[in-house]
Amino acid sequence: MSCSSCIGISTMKPCCRILVGSKTRSFFGFSPPKLNDSIFENLSKPQSRSAAGGRMDGSNSQIVGYICVTGPNRRAFSDSGWNWSQSRVFRRNYVGIRGNSCSNNGSNSWRRRRRRRVLVVRNVASDFRNHSTSVEANVNEKSFQRIYVQGGLNVKPLVIERIETGPNDVVKEEESFRIDEVNGSNVNIDSCKGLNETKVEKEVSKNEEEAWKLLWDSVVTYCGSPVGTVAANDPADKQPLNYDQVFIRDFIPSALAFLLNGEPEIVKNFLLHTLQLQSWEKTVDCYSPGQGLMPASFKVRTLPLDGSEGAFEEVLDPDFGESAIGRVAPVDSGLWWIILLRAYGKITGDYALQERVDVQTGIRLILNLCLTDGFDMFPTLLVTDGSCMIDRRMGIHGHPLEIQALFYSALRCSREMLIVNDNTKNLVAAINNRLSALSFHIREYYWVDMKKINEIYRYKTEEYSTDAINKFNIYPDQIPSWLVDWFPEEGGYLIGNLQPAHMDFRFFTLGNLWAIVSSLGTQKQNEGILNLIENKWDDLVAQMPLKICYPALDHEEWRIITGADPKNTPWSYHNGGSWPTLLWQFTLACIKMGRPELARKAIDVAEKRLAEDQWPEYYDTRSGRFIGKQARLFQTWTIAGFLASKMLLENPEKASLLFWEEDYELLETCVCALSKTGRRKCSRSASKSQILV
Ligand code: GLC
C-alpha cells in the first residue's frame, strides 16, 4: 500500500484540503482573504518557511489557512523517482519495504526486531544532552520531500495567524507560524545517538519479560514507523470498540517504558504525529471545538488508494470526542502531550524536538485553549464531566482535581520549554501568573485534613463580603458521614472538586498523585497525601493498586450522579474500581517523597496477580478482588504501567527528571498579587510564611 498520502476520514475534514472554516475565522477575529492555489503553492515551498525562520513577514501575516497536499501534489512527489525506501533511516531499521509501498512487512519487521530481544536493556548514559545532534538543522529539499513521500499527513496544515493583541488576551499572540519543517515520521535516530551506545543488559523477571513482549505486540505502526500502542490487545475480544486505537493518555506509560529502555523512536513519532492531528479542523455536528485540541485517540486505517487499482494507503483517523461515548472532550490529551514532550527531552537529551517551530506552536495552541479568558472566577480549569481518564459521567464536571493537577504540570513543563521572545512573552507571563494563582487556590481551598474538616463542620454560612471565611458558602451538612469516620488523625488529601456551595470530598487518586509529582501541593501536603494512602492502604490499595477514587457512589447518588450508568456501578470501573495503571504515577510520587518502599509494596501486590489475570484494565469490588466486570484483558497501560513502575524504581535518577520541586518564585508572584489587594505583604520570606509551604 502506498504511503504517499494520509488523509482524514469520518467527520474530520481531510487534511489534503485548504480549510478556512468559519470557526477559524472567528477564532482569529477577521476574515481571511480569498486564497488561490498559487498562494498556497508558494506557502508550501520550503524556502517560504525557512526563509521566514519560523515567522512570516507582515505582508503574509494576515493570512489564515491550512495548506495540504492535494492529489496532484502527492503524486508529483511519489512519482518524482525519489525512492524513500532508500532513506538511510528506513533502510537501517525496516526490512521488507518495497519501493513506494509500505506493506505490512514494515510493521512486522519492527515487531520481529523487538521480539528477538529477551533481555531488557537499561541505559546508563548520563550526559544525554552531549549526545544529541539535530537533524532539524539539515533542512533541505530532500528532507522536505520526505514529508510528502513517507507519510502524506506529515504535511501539516499551515496556519499563519495574525491576531489582534489585547492586554489580557493570551490567545491573541501577535503572530504564529506553524509548519512541519522536516521529516515528521522519520525518526531522528541520530538525535538519540549515545542512548543505545552504552547499554547494559539486565535480567528481568518472567512477568516483566511477558510484559515486554505484550507491549511490543501492542505497537501500532504507520507507514512502517512505530507511532503508538493500542489501548488493549486481547485476541479473544470480539468487540474491541475503540480499544484498538492509540489513546493519548494511555500511551504515556508506554512512552515512559520505551524511553527508560532507551527506545525513544516511537515516542518521538507519537509526539509528531499527534501534533499534526491537532491542527485538523474538527466538527461535531455544525460546531468546531478549539483549534489546539488534541485527540483522545487515533487509529491507523488502511484504505484503498483512489485511482490506483489494488493499492492501499494508510491514514491516521483521530477521534476528538466526536465519536467517543458521550461525546466527551479530551481535555487531558493536550496536557499529557506537553508532559510527555518534556519527559522525552529530559530523558533523551534531544531538546531539539521541543525547540522546533511546529512543536513550539503546538504547545502554544494547547495553552491558548486553556488560558483563554472566560467567565471564570477561579484559576482552575472549568471542564465538562468525563474530560479526562474518567471519561464517563461521574459528577466531576466543574473543576476536577485531576485536570487541575495535569494543567499545573503542563504549565510547569511549558514554562521550561517555551522559547521566550517578543511573541511569547505575554504567554509566558500568563503561565507564571496562572501557576501562582492555581497553586494558591488548590493549596488553600482543596486541602482537607482533620483540622480543616473540623473548621468546615463549624462554618458559618451566607457570608457576604470579601473577608468571608466560608468563601464558597459550603453548608457543613454536606460533609459526608463516611468521611467523619474515615479520616485518619495524620495526613490529608486534596478534594475532588470545588464549586459554589459544593465540595466533592471523594478522594481521586490520579489528581492527588500529580499534585505530589508537580509540587502543586506543599511539601507538607504531599507528605500528608502519602501518609493517608499508607494509612488507608486497605481501602486504596487492598488487593490491587490503586482505587481510581474513594468511596464509590451508591444507591440514589449512583443513579443521579452517574445517570444510572451500568458500567459505573459501585466499586466498579470509574466508580471506585482499582486501576493498575495508576501504579507508575504512585511510584513516581513515592520516589519523589523519598518513600520508594511504599511503591515497592504496591508493585509486589500487583505483580502477584497481573500476569496471571492477563493484565486487566481494572478490578472491581471494595478490595479490588475481582477482575472488572467489563474489563479488557491485555490492557496496554496496565502492562506498561507495571514496567514503568519497575524501571522508575530501578532508576531513581531518571525518575527525578520527571517531577518538580517547590518553586519559590511562583509563590512570591502569588503573595505579591495578594498584597495588591491589601491582604498580604509582598516578599520572598512573606511567601514562605504566608502561603502554605
Ligand atoms: C476507558 C477509560 C479511559 C481510557 C480508555 C482506553 O475509556 O475510561 O481512561 O483512556 O478506556 O483505555
Atom of ligand 1 nearest to the CA of 390: 8
Give the residue from 560, 552, 564, 554 showing the smallest Cα distance to 618.
552
Q: Which of 298, 387, 391, 630 to mutate to test the pocket of ligand 1 (most atoms within 8 A of CB)?
A: 391
Residue-by-residue DSSP string for 568-585: G-TTBTTBB-B-GGGHHH
The more confidently predicted of residues 684 and 75 is 684
What's the pLDDT at 291?
85
CATH number of 325-449+487-673: 1.50.10.10
User: Taking the mean position of all CA atoms in its chain, how far away is CA 400?
Assistant: 16
Nearest to residue 19, comparing CAs of 156, 148, 152, 157? 157
C-alpha cell at 41: 503553492
Residue 596: phi, psi to the nearest 5?
A: -60, -25
Question: Among 243, 246, 250, 298, which is best to mutate for testing ligand 1, by the most ligand atoms less than 8 A from CB?
Answer: 250
Q: How many Cα atoms occupy the beta-carbon half-sphere of 519 within 13 Å? A: 19
Ligand 1 centroid – CA 491 distance (Å)? 30
- CA of residue 389 to ligand 1 center, whole Å: 6
Q: Answer yes or no: is pLDDT of 532 > 80.
A: yes
- Exposed / middle / buried, residue 6 (Cβ in 10 Å: 0-12, 13-18, 19+): buried
Q: Kindly report the protein residue whose alpha carbon is nearest to atom 2 of ligand 1.
A: 389
Least reliable range by pLDDT among 245-254, 281-290, 569-578? 281-290
Atom of ligand 1 nearest to the CA of 389: 9
Element (H, E) at 229: strand 225-229
With b for 16 or more beta-carbon neighbours within 10 A and e for fewer, the 585-602 pattern comes to bbbbbbbbbebbebbeeb
Q: What does the alpha-carbon distance between residue 3 and residue 13 come to, in Å, rounded to a whole number?
A: 19
The answer to whether residues 511 and 402 touch, using CB atoms and an 8 Å cutoff, is yes
Q: How far is the CA of 250 from the centre of ligand 1 (A)?
A: 7
How many Å lie between the centroid of ligand 1 and the Cα of residue 159?
Answer: 31
> For position 324, what pLDDT does the model report?
80
- Give, using CA atoms, the residue closest to atom 6 of ligand 1: 231
- Contact between 552 and 571 under an 8 Å Cβ cutoff? The reply is yes
Which residues make Cβ contacts (< 8 Å) with residue 468, sequence separation at least 6?
none
Query: Whose C-alpha lies nearest to ligand 1, atom 7?
Result: 391
Residue 68 pLDDT exceeds 50: no
415 Cα: distance to centroid of ligand 1 (angstroms): 29
On average, the pLDDT of the chain sits at 76
Give the E-state strand segments of 528-575 in sequence order.
549-550
Average pLDDT in the 396-425 region? Answer: 97
- The answer to whether 187 touches 193, Cβ cutoff 8 Å, is no
Question: Per-residue DSSP letters for 468-524?
Answer: -SSTT---GGGS-HHHHHH--SS-EEEEEEEETTEEEEEEEHHHHHHHHHHT-S-HH
With residue 228 as reference, give the H or E element that holds it: strand 225-229
DSSP bridge pairs for 448: 493
Question: Once rounded to an integer, what is the mean pLDDT over residues 157-174?
Answer: 36
Strand-pair category, 175-178 with 549-550: unpaired
* Tens-digit pLDDT profile for residues 450-472: 999 999 999 999 999 888 999 99
Q: Which of 230, 249, 630, 633 is the pocket-test mutation for ligand 1 (most atoms within 8 Å of CB)?
A: 249
334 C-alpha to center of ligand 1: Å? 16
Tens of pLDDT, residues 295-350: 999 999 999 988 888 899 999 999 988 888 888 889 999 999 999 999 999 999 99
List CB contacts of 157: < 8 A, sequence separation 6 or more.
Answer: 15, 19, 66, 67, 68, 279, 280, 281
The CA-atom distances, in angstroms, between 635 and each of 111, 117, 250, 615 are: 18, 22, 9, 6
Residue 419 near residue 586 (C-beta atoms within 8 A): no
The ligand 1 atom at the shortest distance from the C-alpha of residue 573 is 8
Q: Which residues contact 437 (CB under 8 A, 6 or more apart)?
A: 379, 670, 673
Count the Cβ atoms, other than its own, within 10 Å of residue 122: 18
- Ligand 1, residues 246, 297, 332, 389: which to mutate, most atoms within 8 A of Cβ? 389
Whether the predicted pLDDT of 17 surpasses 70 = no
User: For residue 113, what pLDDT band results from cuts at 50, 70 and 90?
Assistant: low
**How far is CA 658 from each of CA 202, 243, 300, 344, 525, rounded to the nearest angstrom?**
23, 28, 30, 10, 19
What pLDDT does 239 receive?
86
Residue 528 has what pLDDT?
98
Neighbours of 473 (CB within 10 A): 15
Nearest CA to ligand 1 atom 4: 389
CB atoms inside a 10 Å sphere around CB 75: 17
For residue 392, give the ligand 1 atom closest to its CA. 8
Is pLDDT of 41 > 50?
no
CA of 360 to the centre of ligand 1 (A): 28
> How many other CB atoms are found less than 10 A from the CB of residue 133?
16
Helix 71-78 and helix 141-150: axis angle, to 10°?
Answer: 110
Compute the distance from residue 391 Cα to the ligand 1 centre, in Å. 7
Q: Which residue from 279, 264, 381, 275 is spatially nearest to 67, judged by alpha carbons?
A: 279
Residue 206 and residue 362 in contact, taking contact as beta carbons nearer than 8 Å: no
| Rounded distance between C-alpha atoms, residue 639 and residue 345, angstroms | 24
> How close is the Cα of 61 to the center of ligand 1, in Å?
40
User: Is the distance from CB of 201 to CB of 261 less than 8 angstroms?
Assistant: no
Q: Above 50 in pLDDT, residue 65?
A: no
Ligand 1 atom closest to Cα of residue 231: 12
Report the atom number in ligand 1 closest to the C-alpha of 296. 10
Render 649-685 in DSSP notation, one character per residue.
HH-HHHHGGG-----HHHHHHHHHHHHHTTSS--SHH
| CA 396 to centroid of ligand 1, rounded, Å | 16
Note the pLDDT of residue 678. Answer: 52
- Evaluate if residue 591 carries a pLDDT over 90: yes
Provide the sign of the torsion angle of the four alpha carbons 356, 360, 365, 369, taken in this order.
Answer: positive
AA letter at 467: D
Q: How far is the CA of 388 from the centre of ligand 1 (A)?
A: 9
Q: From ligand 1's centre to the CA of 431, what distance in Å?
A: 29
Single pTM value for the model: 0.77
508 Cα to the center of ligand 1, angstroms? 16
Please tell me the predicted confidence (pLDDT) of residue 325.
Answer: 83
Digit-coded pLDDT (tens) for 596-649: 999 999 999 999 999 999 999 999 999 999 999 999 999 999 999 999 999 999
Kindly give the number of the ligand 1 atom that is closest to the alpha carbon of 245. 6
Q: What is the pLDDT of residues 462-520, one digit of tens each?
A: 999 888 999 999 999 999 999 999 999 989 999 999 999 999 999 999 999 999 999 99
Q: Can you give the pLDDT at residue 691?
A: 54
Pocket-forming residues, ligand 1, beta carbon under 6 Å: 231, 247, 249-250, 389, 391
Residue minimizing CA distance to atom 3 of ligand 1: 389
- 388 pLDDT higher than 50: yes
Whether 196 shows a pLDDT value over 60: the answer reads no
Instruction: For residue 238, name the pLDDT band (cuts at 50, 70, 90).
Output: confident
Question: What confidence score (pLDDT) does residue 100 get?
Answer: 28
* Whether the predicted pLDDT of 38 surpasses 90: no
